[in-house]
Chain A
Amino acid sequence: MRLRSPFGLLSALALALAVAFFVLPIVAIFADVSPARLVAALGEESAREALWLSLRTTAIAMAIVLVLGTPAAYLLGRRRFRGRAILITAIELPLVVPPAVAGIGLLAAFGPHGILGGAVHGAGAELVFETAGVVVALTFVSAPFYLRQAITAFGALDRRPLEAARTLGAGPFRAFATVALPTAREGLASGLALAWGRALGEFGATLLFAGSLPGVTQTAPLAIFAEFSRPGGFVAALALSAVLISVAAALLLATKLLGGVGSVGTEGAR
């Protein structure tokens, strides 16, 4: 497409507008918070506690998503079977469910009076108003972001190297771990980055399912809202927001780098 054509110019303008729209609120937060205020915000016990809780719970949620989601996505990405489209739609459902509705749904399923509430209690676990509940809410809302990417990444793999591995003596698990995983790494890392970003920003489902107890279930986004609701708390909310953006950006970058470094050309490229 020639940039000097009217359509080229229109596209460039649309892109410029989109970038400005996305970047402006982020820049505004940092413009409003002096570095000294940022450091001071980090010095506050409640802010540190919320941030630490966010990091811990999102890390656990991501571990669950990776361990359970990766083999599930491999199955859905590599096999064609009846009902596959329905399963994929079910997995994608949390993407379109409003977070508040997700919270209500989790309560109805795992809350004290929920369908599986008795079983959860019987197993000695408590989720509502507990940190474990935060992990459940984060996993629910963020997993589809990883799963979608992982299904696409595994689905795009050339089947021949996987088959070659089998003829060379590798069982299905070894072929998955040594050939499929390294080849799909870039796509998996980008899915993980998206899921982690979504989990760090999670608000509605966590609030409704696990509550907002400082130190127990009050993650960074909930702490930002708590500060924001407090008279005169806007600056503290801004400072915490700036910290959260920095952490999310660092995680995004680290995850992408992890998946990108050492990535190789496609099979058969010459």
Chain B
Amino acid sequence: MSGGRLELEASLPLRDFTLEVSLAVAPGERLALMGRSGAGKTSILRIAAGLMGPRSGRVSLGRETWLDTGAGIDLPPERRRCGLLFQEYALFAAMSAWRNVAYALRGRRGDQRRRAVGLLERFGIGHLGEAMPADLSGGERQRVALARALAAEPRALLLDEPLAALDPATREGAGRELDALLAAMEIPVVIVTHSAAEASRLADRTAVIEQGRLTATG
């Protein structure tokens, strides 16, 4: 998996302030976006993934433009191949774990199943392929969601509070595993978190966002 540099510039009026951000993440680099809830972190991920349109802005990956409000370009989410791990994982409740993962796969059904179970095995939950999301623990759901996001072979990966839905006992181990997984990625990775400890553990670089503006990076 390799991708170009993810660049984003956006201006979007939110309820209490206007989001004004500009950021760039290189392939293989991990950027943590840190800030309080309501600071605009998730909106940045949604703009990058194409789930929300800014009033004005530009999003590109390498030489490919995903959004350019000036030029009237706005690729829909399904054409951006930008992986997004939702905070509560957003698994498809009516599908088993392997079908969740296979959703992003193409090809013959038997082949899809083999590849989906293979991905689940990579996350140590190959035996849970037939389980429904409601029957999985928080940690298991997170792994299914990660396997699903990676099945789509994303060119950039965005994670919205990836550890927030886990109980403290699971969080420690899941954080370690996630760190190892992200370290091996060759695509731009953006992690939204409200925890400084999580940011320093999972990312190479941290940007702080307050009231819709990036105030510090380091």
10 A-B pairs whose Cβ atoms sit less than 8 Å apart in the complex: A158-B90, A160-B90, A167-B49, A167-B78, A182-B95, A264-B134, A265-B134, A267-B93, A268-B88, A270-B134
Contact of B76 among A171, A179, A183, A264 (CB under 8 A): A171
| A160, A168, A169, A270 — most chain B CB neighbours (10 Å) | A168
**Chain B nearest CB: distance from A23 CB in Å?**
35
Q: How far is the CA of A179 from the CA of B88 in the complex (A)?
A: 16
Known: A169-B78, A169-B81. A265 touches B93 (CB 8 A): yes
- Distance to closest chain A CB from B70 (angstroms): 24
Q: A265-B93, A265-B134, A266-B93 are in contact. Are A166 and B76 (CB under 8 A)?
A: yes
Q: Cβ of A169 and Cβ of B88 under 8 Å apart?
A: no
Would you call B132 an interface residue if the criterion is a C-beta within 8 Å of the partner chain's C-beta atoms?
A: yes
Q: Which of A166, A265, A268 contacts B78 (CB 8 A)?
A: A166
Contacts A167-B49, A179-B92; is A269 near B103 (CB within 8 Å)?
no
A87 to chain B, nearest CB (A): 24
Tell me how far the C-beta of A19 lies from the nearest C-beta in chain B, rounded to whole angstroms: 33
Structural contact, B90 and A161, CB atoms closer than 8 A: yes
Contact of A167 (CB < 8 Å), options: B51, B93, B94, B133: B51
The contact of B82 among A167, A179, A262, A267, by CB within 8 Å, is A167
Residues of A within 8 A of B (CB): 158, 160-161, 163-172, 178-179, 182-183, 185, 262, 264-270
Q: Are A270 and B86 in contact (CB under 8 A)?
A: no
- Let me know if B83 is at the binding interface, CB within 8 A: yes
Are B103 and A264 interface neighbours, CB within 8 A?
no
State how many angstroms separate the Cβ of A49 from the closest Cβ of chain B: 42
B134 touching A170, Cβ below 8 Å: no
Shortest distance between the CB of B89 and any CB in chain A (Å):
8
Majority secondary structure of chain B interface residues (helix, strand, loop or mixed): loop
CB pair A163–B51 under 8 Å, yes or no, is: yes
Q: Which 9 A-B pairs have the closest CB atoms?
A: A160-B90, A265-B134, A166-B77, A168-B104, A182-B94, A164-B90, A167-B84, A267-B93, A161-B90
Which residues in A have their C-beta under 8 angstroms from that of B152?
167-169
CA A169 – CA B82 in complex, angstroms?
Answer: 9
Is the CB–CB distance between B84 and A161 below 8 Å? no
State whether the Cβ of B148 lies closer than 8 Å to any Cβ in chain A: yes
CB < 8 Å: which of A158, A164, A178 contacts B84? A164
CB neighbours of A179 from chain B (8 A): 92, 94
Nearest-neighbour CB distance to chain A for B198, whole angstroms, equals: 21
Contact of A170 among B84, B90, B103, B133 (CB under 8 A): B103
Q: For A169, what are the chain B residues with a Cβ–Cβ distance below 8 Å?
A: 78, 81, 104, 152
The answer, among A266, A267, A270, for a CB contact under 8 Å with B90, is A267
Chain B residue at minimum C-beta to C-beta distance from A265: B134
Among residues of B, the one whose C-beta sits closest to the C-beta of A171 is: B78
| Chain A CB within 8 A of B138 CB | yes
Residue ID in chain A nearest B104 by CB atoms: A168
- Interchain CB contact under 8 A, A269 and B134: yes
Beyond A183-B93, A183-B94, 18 additional contacts (C-beta under 8 Å) are: A160-B86, A160-B88, A161-B93, A163-B84, A163-B90, A164-B86, A164-B92, A165-B103, A167-B77, A167-B80, A168-B78, A168-B103, A183-B92, A264-B94, A265-B93, A267-B133, A268-B88, A270-B138
Asked if residues B84 and A267 are in contact (CB atoms below 8 Å), the reply is no
Residues of B contacting A262 with CB < 8 Å?
94
B91 interface residue per 8 A CB criterion: yes
A167 to chain B, nearest CB (A): 5
Q: A181: shortest Cβ distance to chain B, in Å?
A: 9
Given contacts A166-B51, A182-B94, contact A267 B88 (CB under 8 A): yes
In the complex, what's the smallest C-beta–C-beta distance from B104 to chain A, in angstroms? 4
